[in-house]
A and B are shown apart, each in its own frame.
Chain A
Amino acid sequence: MSEIAMTTAENDVVLTVEGLRVELDPSGADIDDEVTLSIRKGEVLGLVGESASGKTTAATALLDHERRGARIGGGKIMVEGRDILALKPNELRRVRGGLISYVPQDPSMSLNPALRIQTQLVEILEAHGFGASAAEREKRLEEMMEEVLLPSDAAFRRRYPHQLSGGQQQRVALAMAFACRPAVIVLDEPTTGLDVTTQAHVLRTVRDLTQTYSVAALYVTHDLAVVANLADRIAVMYAGRLVEVGPKEALFGGACHPYTRKLLEAIPDLNGEHALRGIPGRAPVPGRRPEGCFFAARCDDVEDQCRAGFPPYDGPGEDHRVRCFRWREVEARPMFADRPLRMAAGPACATEEDALVTVRGVRVFYGSHEILHGIDTTVCSRRCIALVGESGSGKTTLARAIAGIHPGKIEGDILFKGRRLERDSRSRPKESRQQLQYIFQSPYGSLNPRKTIGQILSQPLKEFFRLSRDDMEKRMGDALELVALDATLLSKYPDQLSGGERQRVAIARALAAEPSVLICDEVTSSLDVSVQATIIELLAGLIEETGVGMIFVTHHLPLVRSIAQDVAVMSAGNIVEFGPVGDVLSDPQADYTKKLLADTPTI
């Protein structure tokens, strides 16, 4: 287990973790176990895993922090020769923020809203005795602000966190983490929730700072594309175990673990070279993990020995470790078994009469504030139009206005099959309510937790069709079949389903109404990449099978290629560029589109 540590010891290894185990407090079930890794000076190690894989728990354990309900059950963490887990509380306090620092996920939660940012930054320096005098600390403070590319003038430093944008807040958090020139910095998904442009800035800052000050950084994320640009090495975590650790090039060029491969195949690719492929099934949760390899149940390469014991660390090189019995066979296969893209779309509408939905000069308001400034677009059957833009661009507002659930004033015309629609879905004719179906962003919010799946699915059926009990059952079964779910789910409640299954149910609810237009609002943004891929596959298949027209709202440009034929890029309430997906993504005309493309991380 200590081979890695020994072989890299001469290369300025700052942090070594050996056999780290974190377990649930009363029960002792393992959240993380056998986590072994090391990071060198100036190196960024990306720790990648899907939700609930234990990555954040492991990352915070590096600061000897036990999350509520968890305890560190074993292992060794060495930072510059000091054993972190053996420190006394007062020593640990000096080490945290000094020797190792932490950047949390959400800066709006981690900064104290009642204190000026300057106060919070100086606090760190004082706590760690950085700088001999107030003047010296003042100087360091200015330096810190410049390092994270924030204005260092006094007026800015006197601001409160709420007076900063999300990106600026995260920079302040970064400045705090780098304040005392730590040896190790742990970054916990610091760009989640930021727009791609802001994310690109923050990532650049992280990279520059770690290199300039030779800091060893652990970057925790669920997004392989983000670490692809940032990290030097990548560690893939699955169900609390590291399954593959290796240099970025080795992993992206020839991953040796089936899970890593599947994860890479599930990532939408901006260049549209590869088709998406989801990973069916789910990772086992603590206390329910099987004997043998935890990935066995979802693995195509599974054999008897996989079920007998968890594979040991092995692999092609000292720096590239894999925990799979069959890594040699996996390595030998070419990456991305190619599949054609699904682009079996209908023709673009020739005339306006063909269009299902026509939006003409639509201006949408929140109160007296105009959000959309004259939007024109059309939706045709058997085709998908993607609305792409950053937060605040008005893409969701447009989708909601079309669906009739925007609460404010709307000017201009929204036509459905040539008939003008009212603002509010309740005053619209039944036919349009039935044929325009909206799927919400988060399946955790869009399904009533007190209703069974059957009750949820019966709602549109009761509303739009007069059906006998048997017909109803049959229709619900058909709708579930379309989304590849089993009819036995009808008696279950949403909290008994996984996120991906819930989103399928939400899609089934929309399909039960037999719509001609599906409006999908960021339907995959709350799901893991492996699940996202299966949902995208499903939606693309539905266009083909049922011939619906689709509006696909997303902030994630790479997704567009996998599902849409046309794309409308939105910014500040306007459509800044519109055209076929291939043209817009490969030869963008608008500056905004170019910038968006440049900032989007790719593999």
Chain B
Amino acid sequence: MSVIPQDAQEIIPGADELLPEPRPGGAHRRREWVDIIRGSLRFGRTKVGLVIVVAIVALALIGPYVAPHSPYATGVAPDYAGPSARAWLGTDYIGHDVFSRILCGGRTVIGLSVVATVLAMILGTALGLLAGYSRPAVDDVIMRLLDVLLAFPSIVFVLLLVALLGNSLGLIVLAVAITHAPRIARVARGATLEIVGRDFVRASEALGVPRRKILAGEILPNITSPLLVEFGLRLTYSIGLIAALSFLGFGMQPPAADWGLMIHENQMALAVQPYAVFVPVFLIALLTIGTNLVTDGVSRALIGIDRDTGAK
């Protein structure tokens, strides 16, 4: 590690500015988020969260290749049969092997959530940057329009869009992205406001650098850390939202294997065949808890909370 004691930088005002030599290891603050992720790994919660997320993502990715039966094969055992040597977790309402369907049913939830969140991040960040930089007129227009979107509860808004425009996966992803974008835009705008007042932005303006270059080149690299936390948070919500939509019958359609859909299909037989409902519920819950723990660790690292005391 560094030759300079870490505490030297906290206590002496200006000591950080006066650091004479490059920090060893070549890891400087050019990419703050790298440091933050590294810092977040000091927290137990981040490690636990990461283990959970990696395990579930691995299960979803590898699952289809190791599933003992095809997820679409009916009659593996009688309908609603209990666990047996042939079907480890029993069968569902038309005799699919529940274990195989669970192994195969994670990809869609995770995949769609990630795509929707990335889309939301792009949309929200662009709007937030623009609003924060172009005050007051453009800012007011953008933010008030986004406020209107925020007035709808996200599930209601998505259902409304799907009901109006039809039920397709692309539309669902887009709808989820649109519900998240205003919240991300607010975070991006807030972070932007802190940066636009800095002199290096003024310096670029004085040189006549075009607006899009200032947004992308000067401001965006300085707001990546709060956006990183926001990504984690929005991903957590996306997983819940996408699973909920499947459960409500939107999104994946039978006979597709999907955790949300499985809960929907087998809820009637909860007492007879609990595995087909509870295992997907458990996995979805665990996944959101995992992403949330990681996000929490990252945001703690971001604001520099002490590992032991929890005090700032």
B interface residues, tally (CB under 8 Å) = 40
8 Å CB contact of B222 from A54, A448, A463: A448
In the bound complex, do residue A496 and residue B8 qualify as a contact, i.e. CB atoms below 8 Å apart?
Answer: no
In the bound complex, do residue B23 and residue A425 qualify as a contact, i.e. CB atoms below 8 Å apart?
Answer: no
In the bound complex, do residue B13 and residue A404 qualify as a contact, i.e. CB atoms below 8 Å apart?
Answer: no
Return chain A residues, CB-CB under 8 Å to B8: 24, 27, 29, 285-287
In the bound complex, do residue A70 and residue B20 qualify as a contact, i.e. CB atoms below 8 Å apart?
Answer: no
In the bound complex, do residue A67 and residue B17 qualify as a contact, i.e. CB atoms below 8 Å apart?
Answer: no
Knowing A493-B28, A498-B17, A498-B20, say if A445 contacts B199 (CB, 8 Å). Answer: yes
Bound: A239/B121 CA distance, A:
47
8 Å CB contact of B4 from A285, A445, A460: A285
Return chain A residues, CB-CB under 8 Å to B14: 51-52, 499
Q: Does B202 contact A (CB under 8 A)?
A: yes
In the bound complex, do residue A405 and residue B205 qualify as a contact, i.e. CB atoms below 8 Å apart?
Answer: yes
Question: Which of B14, B16, B208, B221: most chain A Cβ within 10 A?
Answer: B208
Q: Distance in Å from the Cβ of A282 to the closest Cβ of chain B? A: 5
- Considering the complex, give the chain B residue whose CB is closest to the CB of A287: B5
Q: Distance in Å from the Cβ of A528 to the closest Cβ of chain B? A: 9
Question: Which of B19, B203, B209: most chain A Cβ within 10 A?
Answer: B203
8 Å CB contact of B10 from A68, A440, A450, A495: A68
In the bound complex, do residue B22 and residue A27 qualify as a contact, i.e. CB atoms below 8 Å apart?
Answer: no
Q: What 0/1 readout, one digit per residue, does chain A (422-460) give for beta carbons within 8 Å of chain B?
A: 000110101001000110111011111111100000011
Bound: A117/B221 CA distance, A:
44
In the bound complex, do residue B209 and residue A463 qualify as a contact, i.e. CB atoms below 8 Å apart?
Answer: yes
Q: Distance in Å from the Cβ of B10 to the closest Cβ of chain A? A: 5
In the bound complex, do residue A495 and residue B28 qualify as a contact, i.e. CB atoms below 8 Å apart?
Answer: yes
In the bound complex, do residue A51 and residue B29 qualify as a contact, i.e. CB atoms below 8 Å apart?
Answer: no
Knowing A405-B202, A445-B199, say if A513 contacts B28 (CB, 8 Å). Answer: no
Q: What 0/1 readout, one digit per residue, does chain B (192-209) give for beta carbons within 8 Å of chain A?
A: 000000111011111111
In the bound complex, do residue A52 and residue B15 qualify as a contact, i.e. CB atoms below 8 Å apart?
Answer: yes
Bound: A536/B304 CA distance, A:
39
- Considering the complex, give the chain B residue whose CB is closest to the CB of A105: B13
Bound: A54/B14 CA distance, A:
11
Q: Does B66 contact A (CB under 8 A)?
A: no
- Considering the complex, give the chain B residue whose CB is closest to the CB of A28: B5
Knowing A444-B17, A496-B28, say if A29 contacts B5 (CB, 8 Å). Answer: yes
Listed in ascending order, the chain A residues whose CB lies under 8 Å from chain B are: 24-27, 29, 31, 51-52, 54, 56-57, 67-70, 282-288, 403-405, 425-426, 428, 430, 433, 437-438, 440-442, 444-452, 459-460, 463-464, 492-493, 495-496, 498-499, 506, 509, 513
- Given A405-B206, A459-B209, 13 further pairs, Cβ under 8 A: A24-B5, A24-B11, A27-B8, A287-B3, A287-B8, A403-B206, A445-B199, A448-B221, A450-B32, A463-B209, A493-B29, A495-B19, A496-B19
7 tightest A-B CB contacts, nearest first: A27-B5, A450-B221, A69-B11, A446-B199, A445-B199, A440-B199, A448-B200
19 contacts between A and B (CB under 8 A): A31-B11, A52-B12, A56-B13, A68-B10, A68-B11, A69-B10, A285-B8, A285-B15, A287-B3, A288-B20, A430-B208, A438-B203, A442-B199, A446-B200, A448-B200, A451-B221, A493-B28, A495-B28, A499-B17
